[in-house]
Amino acid sequence: MKQYIVDAFTNTVFSGNPAAVCVMDRWPKEQWMMQVAEENNLSETAFIVKEKSAYRLRWFTPGTEVELCGHATLASAFVILNYYENNSDKVDFDTISGRLTVTRRKNLYEMNFPTYELKETPVTDIMETCFGFRPMKAFLGLDLICIFENEEIIRRMIPDQNLLMKMEGRIQNVTAQGTNTDCVSRSFCPKLSIPEDPVCGSAHCQIASYWSKVLNKKDIIAYQASKRGGLLHCHLLDHGRITISGEAALFAISEIQ
């Protein structure tokens, strides 16, 4: 079985967010997929099986299966459109979160994702203790989104991983308005066995939606300020949808025995 390692939301290797993509003829046991994800020890391993005209896609962290993952979807589309369906510029994935369509537009892979309703939640002392800075606002959707005063705070913070485990949301995101982009963010995921996700596509279903309303614009350029870093091109659509686009770079192709 072939496994591809792809760096997503970047055009050069050793940056962006690496994902493993396993393309299979049939579904193995779930325990085996979980073991492969643990062995890879990347933030996500994607498993793909072709079913009729679409591909069934599942995502696993080293700790659990997740319901939505942006960078591993981008990586999966890169693999399918370059190595399996290279005469096409569109691929459909059937997932826990419904059908996800990815379209290749020159060097960008555009993903059509759902957005999530954000409800403002009180800023707490535990948030300030955890991040080392007090958020200006906090919102809860699928994940927790904490808004801070400026980009420098986002880049400097070293959150307490134990306190993150006690906070709401499966992922704790921090964001501020950017100096060179519309927004800057980071994503911490200890509940998913990921201390920090280098570039989190699914989090921007919420982060970009927030900044779209604040800045009154549908196009949001976002930068994830992790050590590896990555750029996301977001466009808010009608009916609770968003497109998130990024580049990808192949790091390796291997055979799993």
Give the per-residue pLDDT at 61: 93
C-alpha atoms less than 13 angstroms from C-alpha of 226 in its C-beta half-sphere: 24
d(CA 189, CA 197) in angstroms, rounded, equals 7
Tell whether 123 and 235 lie within a shared domain: yes
Q: How far is the C-alpha of 220 from the C-alpha of 244, rounded, in Å?
A: 9
Q: Check whether residue 48 and residue 95 sit in a common domain.
A: yes
Residues 144, 219 within the same domain: yes
229 shares its domain with 166: yes
The pLDDT value recorded for residue 10 is 97
Per-residue pLDDT at 52: 87
DSSP state of 85: -
Do 123 and 108 belong together in one domain?
no
CA atoms lying within 13 Å on the CB side of residue 19:
34
The DSSP call for residue 82 is: I
pLDDT score recorded for residue 75: 98
Our answer to whether residue 85 is catalytic in this structure is no
Give the CATH number of the domain where residue 32 resides.
3.10.310.10
For 65-87, the pLDDT digits (tens) are 999 899 999 999 999 999 999 99
- For residue 24, the SS3 value is strand
Note whether 154 and 84 are same-domain residues.
Answer: no
Q: Is 144 helix (H, G, I), strand (E, B) or coil?
A: strand
State the total domains in the chain: 2
- Taken as a whole, the chain contains a residue count of 257
d(CA 130, CA 147): 14
Asked whether residue 204 falls in the same domain as residue 251, the answer is no
Residues of the chain with pLDDT under 50: none
161 and 78 fall within a common domain? no
- The answer on 77 and 20 residing in a single domain is yes
Residues 169-214 pLDDT 10s: 889 999 999 999 999 999 999 998 889 999 999 999 999 999 999 9
Q: Do 92 and 11 belong together in one domain?
A: yes
Asked if 127 and 203 sit in the same domain, the reply is: yes
Q: Which residue, among 36, 19, 40, 18, has the nearest Cα to 27 in the 3D structure?
A: 36
Domain with 184 in it: 119-239
**Same domain as 92, residue 141:** no
What CA dihedral angle connects 24, 26, 29 and 33, to 10 degrees?
Answer: 20
User: For residue 146, which amino acid is it?
Assistant: C
Q: Given 30, 38, 44, 168, which residue is catalytic? A: 44
